[in-house]
Structure formats: C-alpha cells, structure tokens
Amino acid sequence: MAGRFVLPALVAALFAAPLWFMLTGSLRPAGLPPPRTLELWPPEATLDAYRRLPELMPLFRYLANSAMVAAVAVPLTVLTAALTGFGVRLLPPSARRKAVVALVVVLLVPVTAVWATRFEVFRLAGVTDTIVPLLAPALLAVSPFLVLLYAWSFGGVPDSQLQSARLEGAGWLTVWRRVALPQVRPATLAVAVLAFTFHWANFIDPLLYLHSGDRYTFPLALRFLLLLNPTDWPLLMAGCVIATLPCVVVFLLAQRVLLSDDPLAALRRGRP
C-alpha cells in the first residue's frame, strides 16, 4: 500500500507544488507583508492582480500575437512531423534504421550552436522582426522526437493496407492522408499538443528576432513585466498563470495518450 500509493502521491504533490505556489502567489493582495510560515492559501485572496495586468500592458495584444504564431506554427509542425514520419515508414527496414539514427543525431544538435549564425541568415534574408523566423522550428518539426513519435505510430499501419490502397491507384500523398493519418489520431493529438506547448512558450526566437513592441509574444512580454515591476509578485505570478494555463489545459488533453499505462500502444490506437 505504502509503496503503491503513498510515495507516488508524495512525488505528485512535490511536482505540483510549484504550480500551486504560482497560483496562490497571484491571489495575494499586493503589499501584504511576508507570510510568517508556509502559506498554503493567502489571506484575503483576490483577483486584483488579474485586473491590474491589462491596465499595465497591452495584455490582449500580446496574447493575440502568441495565439497567431501558434495558429500557424502548430499545423506546420504537425504537417512536417507527419510527412517526415510517413517517409520513414515507407523506407525498407535497413534504410529506416539509418533514418532513425540520423533523427537521433539531429536530436543531439543543440540549438545554441546555431543561434547567432541562424540569426545572420535571417538578417541577410531581411525577415527579422516578422513571424517568419518564429516558424523555423516548425519546419524542423520542433524536435526529431515528434518525427520519431509519428514514425513509431505509422509503424502500426499494416503494409497490406498501404499496398492495396496503392494498387487502387492512389498516390502516396493520398495514402498518407486517407489511410495512414486516420489510424494514428492519438499521435496527431500528442504531436499537436507538444508543438503547442513549444510554440506558445518559445522565448529565444522572439527575443532574438522581434524588435517592435507591438509584435511581442506573451513570453517576451512577461520578461518585460519582470524588468518593469521586479517586486510586484502578485502581478508577476498572475502573468505566469496566464502564460502557463493554456499549456496545462492543452496538455491535459494529451495525457490520456502520452501518460497512459502503455503509451506506445496508445499512440497506435485508431481513436484517441
């Protein structure tokens, strides 16, 4: 009993704790003196910080910018990952192994290695301060991890189905769209969710490429909020909650697949 539930519950509580403190921190009235002991719920909890936030900065503009980037980048990421993953599926086994190894190698390339010079490439192309550089990670499917996820899932589509659709005269793109994709809906859900959490949270690319304040995405705005009000904790925590909430909500949709008892089988199941 202890091993089966008590320890997992303690661990779960430990990992949920920072989010809890984020929420309660945002509900503290501004200017309250420091709590004397561990404060699990603030006295006189208030939503005041959430009211002040849009007065201090164009909150909805930033949120709209972030939503816009996500609306373009997430489908692009899913498309790239799904096409590439299907490509891996079509290869004969020996070539497939090589492709998987290549993807793992790309997984090991750090982003920092290409920051500065990638910036130079985009500067020479004259697209800094636009949404274009923010879409670059989407063209790379965010991470080879997402491609591998699709490659695994397409592995569950029987060869016979692919071949018979092909014999009926369908092109491979049609086979991909009509036969393969509908069988890996859980994978599509998982990839879309992971892509959303990446693009919504992306900080480095907007920091490097966006100069005009009216194009800032929300993570960038949160940092400027920190620079302007470094000690207004309820306000900052409210900003954190707003930044985090969409990711948490969206992730809760995917946990059924990614964190089920057998995630690898769940990915291949026809319906999420």
Partner 1 sequence: MTRAKGERSLSGWAFLAPYAVAVVLLIAVPALLNVGYAFTDHTGLTRDPQFVGLDNVRRLADDAFLADSLEASLFHVALSVPLRLLAAVGLGLLLAAPRPGGRWFRTAVYLPTVVPDVALAVLFLWVLNPLYGPLNQLLGLFGHPGYTWLSDPTTARVGVVLMLLFPIGEGFVVVLAARRLLDGRLYEAAALEGCGPFGQLRRITLPLLAPVLVLLAVRDTILTLQVNFVPAYVLTDGRPANATLYLPVYIFDQAFEFSGFAYAALITILLMLITAAIIAVQLLAVRRWRVLR
Q: Which of residues 208-237 bind partner 1 (CB under 8 A)?
A: 208, 219-220, 222-223, 226, 233, 236-237
Residues 6+ apart with CB under 8 A from 138: 72, 73, 74, 76, 77, 80, 195, 199
Burial of 125 (C-beta count, 10 Å sphere; 0-12/13-18/19+): exposed
Is residue 248 a contact residue for partner 1 (CB under 8 A)?
yes
Q: How many residues bind partner 1 (CB under 8 A)?
A: 93
Stretch that binds partner 1, among 47-55, 56-64, 67-75, 86-94 (CB under 8 A): 86-94
The least distance separating partner 1 from the CB of residue 243, rounded to whole angstroms, comes to: 4
Exposure string of 213-233, with b = 16+ CB inside 10 Å and e = fewer, is eebbbbbbbbeebeeeeeebe
Within 108-228, residue ranges assigned H as helices are: 115-124, 132-139, 144-154, 159-167, 172-174, 185-201, 204-209, 218-228
Binding residue for partner 1, selected from 57, 77, 89, 183, defined by CB under 8 A: 89
Q: First CA to last CA across the chain, in angstroms?
A: 31
Question: CA angle, 242 as apex, 237 and 243 as ends, to 5°?
Answer: 95
Is residue 158 a contact residue for partner 1 (CB under 8 A)?
no
Nearer to partner 1, 58 or 226 (CB): 226
> Token pair for residue 163?
């071949």
The least distance separating partner 1 from the CB of residue 63, rounded to whole angstroms, comes to: 13
Is residue 72 a contact residue for partner 1 (CB under 8 A)?
no
Binding residue for partner 1, selected from 132, 164, 259, 270, defined by CB under 8 A: 259
The least distance separating partner 1 from the CB of residue 185, rounded to whole angstroms, comes to: 19
Nearer to partner 1, 50 or 233 (CB): 233
Is residue 64 a contact residue for partner 1 (CB under 8 A)?
no
Binding residue for partner 1, selected from 63, 67, 68, 99, defined by CB under 8 A: 99
Burial of 82 (C-beta count, 10 Å sphere; 0-12/13-18/19+): buried
- Tell whether the torsion through CA atoms of 45, 51, 56 and 62 is positive or negative: positive
Binding residue for partner 1, selected from 19, 56, 64, 132, defined by CB under 8 A: 19
Binding residue for partner 1, selected from 55, 113, 126, 168, defined by CB under 8 A: 113
Is residue 107 a contact residue for partner 1 (CB under 8 A)?
yes
